[in-house]
Amino acid sequence: MFGLEKIFSKKWNKVLIFWGRRKSVKIWELEVNFLSRKIKIKDQATLHPPLGENFNCEQIINILKEALNSSKKNNHFLLFLEKPFLKSTLSNFSILRDNPLMAIEESELENLILNLTWRLQDREKAIVARTLGVSEMDLALISSIVKDPTIEGRKILNPLGFSGRRLGFTFENSYGAKGFWEELSKIVSNLKCETKIVSEDNLIYDKTFSALDEKGVFIFLDEEETKIGLMGGFLRTSERFNWGGKNLTSVIAKELGVSFQCAKSIREKYRQGEMSVSARKWFEKIFASELKILAEGINLTAKNFFNSLTDGEKLHSEIWLVGEISNFPKITETLKSYTWTKSIFKKKPLVSHYSSDKIFAKINVDIDKHVKNSDFDAILAIFLANLFLPESYNPDLNKILRRRLKWIR
């Protein structure tokens, strides 16, 4: 009547999220209202390569082009790419100053950042090139960010004007194969929307859970692998091992003598509750040994965390499961009944599911769950949190870094 619907509709921003991995590509189309902090999931799609194959760089580029052509007039585009497409590192580096009693001036700060950047590049380049399967000559530094400055181990906002002997920073570097990055940057440069490129899920989890100030051992369940992170105000460390939902599918295939694809369909029927009670109990019995392997892997990883990082301090006694736990029958019960190494936890750990609702409640965001295709997991919630959580990067330090990066690229 008064045309108010046009005014309020402008508050909704179209957001496209693209998550590219070797074994899957997930794409979400959303509408986000930053004023009322509400999200509507409009559409989603999941693509898989042929059985036994992986997506390559050319296929990722083609899928990305198609997704962007199909979704017009986006206000925000979040691009998440994992190795072997892009690789990111998060490194804490420090240096000893020659004159610890003198206040730090801008010229000294620039030289210190340049020194640390050179050292980090020299240390990382060979490792990252091996991970991406390219030569060091074909490796491109896509972006570099410096944050979290410290003096004598204490965090400060800006080191200018401070004195002290040991100055430290956290560097966040992203790398890619030159050819792939050239193609990707052509696509991104033509977009008329705010774009953020993030690689290496460690950075995503670190930012989200640091802001949420969570503690404990986080277990990220996936079809291909399991990732375990130690949280304590930030992602202190993480490890991953080659165990995932595919292991349960393989058990079904072996027990029933069927193909992997057929076993995958049977497992989906289990997940949907389309089986009798006796059939469900039979499947849970054959899954038990695999889930025990997962529990042992988690226990061993937690022991490694304890030995390498905590200086004898026992771990916070909470284990959080992140992901679609309905794909992992009896996982919560298995971990609750497991006998954990007593020396690493303060007490018997509580095992809980860290749901997407918990993440959104923490950042005060509402999801419209009454829309088509509104089913999503906590991984998407972690991605979306990047739209609402503040950046922790120091703009002055990164101006210095950008000037110095021109020397080493």
Domain ranges of the chain: 4-84+182-206, 87-175+392-408, 207-354
In this structure, are residues 228 and 218 in contact, taking their beta carbons and an 8 Å threshold?
yes
Is residue 8 over pLDDT 80? no
Alpha-carbon span 177 to 281, nearest angstrom: 48
Is residue 2 over pLDDT 50? no
Question: Which stretch of 252-266, 290-304, 310-324, 365-379 has the lowest confidence by average pLDDT?
Answer: 365-379
CATH 3.30.420.40 fits 4-84+182-206, yes or no: yes
Sorting pLDDT into bands at 50, 70 and 90, what band is 311?
low
72 against 54, higher pLDDT = 54
Is residue 244 over pLDDT 50? yes
Residues 368-384 pLDDT 10s:
754 444 444 566 777 77
Report pLDDT for 379.
67
Sorting pLDDT into bands at 50, 70 and 90, what band is 64?
very high
Is residue 36 over pLDDT 90? no
Q: What is the DSSP letter of 390?
A: P
The predicted model gives 246-258 an average pLDDT of: 91
Sorting pLDDT into bands at 50, 70 and 90, what band is 233?
low
Tokens (6 digits) for 166: 């040991």
Question: Which stretch of 143-152, 279-288, 353-362, 389-398 has the lowest confidence by average pLDDT?
Answer: 389-398
Alpha-carbon span 138 to 120, nearest angstrom: 18
282 against 194, higher pLDDT = 282
CATH topology of domain 87-175+392-408: Dna Ligase; domain 1 (3.30.1490)
Report pLDDT for 377.
58
pTM: 0.75
**Average pLDDT value over all residues in the chain:** 80
Q: Which residue shows structure tokens 């993440």?
A: 359
Is residue 177 over pLDDT 80? yes
Percent of the chain whose predicted confidence (pLDDT) is above 70:
83
Sorting pLDDT into bands at 50, 70 and 90, what band is 162?
confident
On the question of a cis peptide bond just before residue 349, with omega within 30 degrees of 0, the verdict is no
Report pLDDT for 327.
81
Alpha-carbon span 290 to 178, nearest angstrom: 40
Report pLDDT for 203.
59
Is residue 231 over pLDDT 90? no
398 against 342, higher pLDDT = 342
CA 18 to chain centre: 13
Angle at 69 between CA 67 and CA 74, to 5 degrees: 85
Is residue 407 over pLDDT 70? no
Q: Is residue 197 within a helix (H) or strand (E), and if so which, with residue range? A: strand 194-199
244 against 199, higher pLDDT = 244
Is residue 5 over pLDDT 70? no
Domains 4-84+182-206 and 207-354 fall in the same CATH topology: yes
Interacting residues of 375 by C-beta distance below 8 A, sequence separation 6+: none
Give the architecture (CATH level 2) of 207-354. 2-Layer Sandwich (3.30)
The predicted model gives 13-36 an average pLDDT of: 87
Total number of residues shown for the chain? 409
Residues 82-122 pLDDT 10s:
888 888 887 777 888 888 888 888 888 888 888 888 888 88
Instruction: Give the per-residue SS3 of 230-257.
Output: EEECCEEEEEEECCCHHHHHHHHHHHHC
Report pLDDT for 375.
42
Q: Which residue shows structure tokens 């033509």?
A: 190
